[in-house]
C-alpha cells in the first residue's frame, strides 16, 4: 500500500537534493520549496513537536475558532493548502470541523506524510501535489479551505486566494492561520539568531561541550537555513492581508492576530531545541516549554491584547467567504 499522492500523475518525493539542485533552488523559490520541504518531510513532526492528540487538536481548533467560531459545523468537504504533514486539517477534522478532507502541498514528500498520518488516524482524506497558485480541483468543489503557515511561502498570494475562491462552493469559507506578521517576524528572527549564536558558541569548549551537536548536523542546519531564507517570501500587516483577500474577490473578510509574549518564548525555545542534541532535553524541558507557552498565551489573551496594538502580535489569521 502506498500513500504517495496520485501515483502516475503526481511527482514522487525527492528527499536528497543534489548540490546542483540546491544551487538552482537558490534562484527558484518554488524549486526551493519542494527541495526544502521534501528534505524535512519525514522529520517535520518531530522538529515542530506536531502530534495528532489532544494538545495539537486543541491548538489547531483554537486557531480556527480565533476567527471562525461562529460558523456552523461540520463542513462537508474541506481542503488544506500547503498541508505539510497535515497538522491543521487532520487535527481540525478530529475536532469535528469537517467530515471529508483533501490535503495538498507543493512538496510530494509532505503529501505522502500527510496521507500516512490521515490513514493512521482513520480519517477520510485524499491528497494531491498542488501549487496553490494553480489548484488541481474543479470549480465549486469545497465547503472549506484551510491553511497554516503557508501564505507567506506563496509568490502571488492574491492569485492563490483567487484559486481558493474558485474551488470553494458559493458561501464556502477559507481560514488561513499562522502567518507571520511583519513586526512579529522581525523580533522572532532576531531572537532566533541570538539564541543560535549563543548556544552554538557556549557549547564549543569547556564543560558544555557535551551539549554540542556534531558539526555536520550544525552545518546541515545552516544550509537548511540558507534555503529557508529563499522559501520565506512574505510577512503580513493584518490590514494589508485583508486587502489582498478582498482584491481576490472574497466577501466577509476579517483578520485577527495572536501570540506576543508566547512567540517571544516559542522562537528561542525551538531554536535552542534545534541547536542541542535532542537526548539532552527530557520531559522536564518539554513541560517547561509547553507550560511556559500556555501561561504566556494566557497573558497575551487576557492582558497584552488590551494594551498592545494587533500588528505587534506574531501570528496573523485571515478568513473570508466566496460570495453567493
Ligand atoms: C511552513 S510549512 C507549513 C506546513 C503545515 N501547514 C504546518 O503548519 O505544519 C509550509 C508548507 O507550504 C508548502 N508550500 C510552499 N509553497 C507552496 C505553494 N506554492 N503551493 C502549495 N504549497 C506550498 C510547503 O511545501 C510546506 O509544506
User: In a mutational test of the pocket of ligand 1, which residue from 17, 60, 105, 230 has the highest number of ligand atoms less than 8 Å from its CB?
Assistant: 105
Nearest CA to ligand 1 atom 27: 84
pLDDT for 301 equals 95
Using alpha carbons only, give the angle 276, 281, 282 rounded to the nearest 5 degrees.
Answer: 165
Does the pTM of the predicted model rise above 0.95? Answer: no
Residues 93, 103: contact at Cβ < 8 Å? no
End-to-end alpha-carbon separation of the chain, Å?
41
The pLDDT value given to residue 228: 79
Residue 49 has what pLDDT?
A: 86
**Which parts of the chain register pLDDT below 70?**
1-8
Q: Is residue 236 part of a domain?
A: yes
CATH number at 97 reads 3.40.50.150
Phi and psi dihedrals of 52, rounded to 5? -125, 35
11 within a domain of the structure (yes/no): no
* Residue 208, in any domain of the structure: no
Number of domains in the chain: 1
CA 132 to ligand 1: nearest atom: 20
pLDDT tens readout for residues 132-188? 999 999 999 999 999 999 999 999 999 999 999 999 999 999 999 999 999 999 999
Does 153 fall in a domain? yes
**Half-sphere exposure of 206 toward its Cβ, with a 13 Å CA cutoff?**
5
Domain assignment present for 130: yes
Alpha carbon distance 75, 311 (integer Å): 30
Helices (DSSP H) in the chain: which residue ranges? 19-25, 29-40, 44-47, 54-68, 87-94, 108-121, 157-167, 182-202, 215-231, 238-247, 261-275, 283-299, 305-307
Q: Is 309 exposed, middle or buried (0-12, 13-18, 19+ CB in 10 A)?
A: exposed
Owning domain of residue 300: 19-191+219-321
Cell reading at 79: 481542503
Q: Report yes or no on 199 lying in a domain.
A: no
Best mutation site among 33, 175, 228, 315 for ligand 1, i.e. most ligand atoms within 8 A of its Cβ? 33
Does 13 fall in a domain? no
- Distance of CA 33 from the midpoint of ligand 1 (Å): 8
Conformational region of residue 178, where left means phi above 0, alpha means psi within -120 to 50, and beta covers everything else: left
Asked whether residue 124 is assigned to any structural domain, the reply reads yes
Q: What is the pLDDT of residue 310?
A: 95
Give pLDDT, residue 9: 76
Amino acid at each position: 500500500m502506498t500513500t504517495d499522492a496520485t501515483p502516475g500523475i503526481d511527482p514522487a518525493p525527492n528527499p536528497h537534493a543534489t548540490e546542483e539542485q540546491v544551487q538552482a533552488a537558490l534562484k527558484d523559490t518554488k524549486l526551493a520549496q519542494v527541495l526544502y520541504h521534501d528534505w524535512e518531510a519525514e522529520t517535520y513532526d518531530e522538529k515542530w513537536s506536531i502530534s495528532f492528540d489532544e494538545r495539537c487538536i486543541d491548538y489547531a481548533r483554537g486557531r480556527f475558532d480565533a476567527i471562525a467560531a461562529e460558523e456552523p459545523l461540520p463542513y462537508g468537504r474541506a481542503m488544506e493548502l500547503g498541508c505539510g504533514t497535515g497538522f491543521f486539517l487532520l487535527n481540525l477534522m478530529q475536532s469535528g470541523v469537517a467530515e471529508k478532507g483533501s490535503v495538498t502541498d507543493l512538496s510530494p514528500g509532505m503529501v505522502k506524510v500527510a496521507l500516512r498520518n490521515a490513514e493512521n488516524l482513520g480519517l477520510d482524506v485524499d491528497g494531491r501535489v498542488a501549487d496553490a497558485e494553480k489548484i488541481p480541483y474543479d470549480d465549486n468543489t469545497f465547503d472549506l479551505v484551510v491553511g497554516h503557515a503557508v501564505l507567506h511561502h506563496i509568490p502571488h498570494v492574491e492569485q492563490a486566494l483567487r484559486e481558493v475562491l474558485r474551488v470553494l462552493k458559493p458561501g464556502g469559507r477559507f481560514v488561513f492561520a499562522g502567518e507571520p506578521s511583519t513586526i512579529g517576524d522581525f523580533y522572532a528572527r532576531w531572537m532566533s539568531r541570538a539564541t543560535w549564536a549563543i548556544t552554538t558558541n557556549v557549547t564549543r569548549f569547556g564543560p558544555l561541550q557535551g551539549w554540542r551537536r556534531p558539526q555536520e548536523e550544525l552545518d546541515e542546519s545552516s544550509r537548511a537555513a540558507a534555503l529557508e531564507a529563499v522559501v520565506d517570501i512574505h510577512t503580513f500587516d493584518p490590514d494589508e492581508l485583508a486587502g489582498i483577500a478582498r482584491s481576490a474577490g472574497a466577501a466577509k473578510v476579517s483578520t485577527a492576530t495572536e501570540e506576543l509574549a508566547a512567540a517571544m518564548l516559542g522562537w528561542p525555545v525551538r531554536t535552542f531545541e534545534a541547536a542541542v542534541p535532542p537526548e539532552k532535553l527530557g520531559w522536564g524541558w518539554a513541560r517547561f516549554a509547553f507550560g511556559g507557552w500556555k501561561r504566556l498565551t494566557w497573558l497575551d489573551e487576557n492582558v497584552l491584547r488590551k494594551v498592545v496594538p494587533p500588528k505587534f502580535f506574531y501570528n496573523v489569521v485571515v478568513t473570508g467567504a466566496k460570495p453567493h
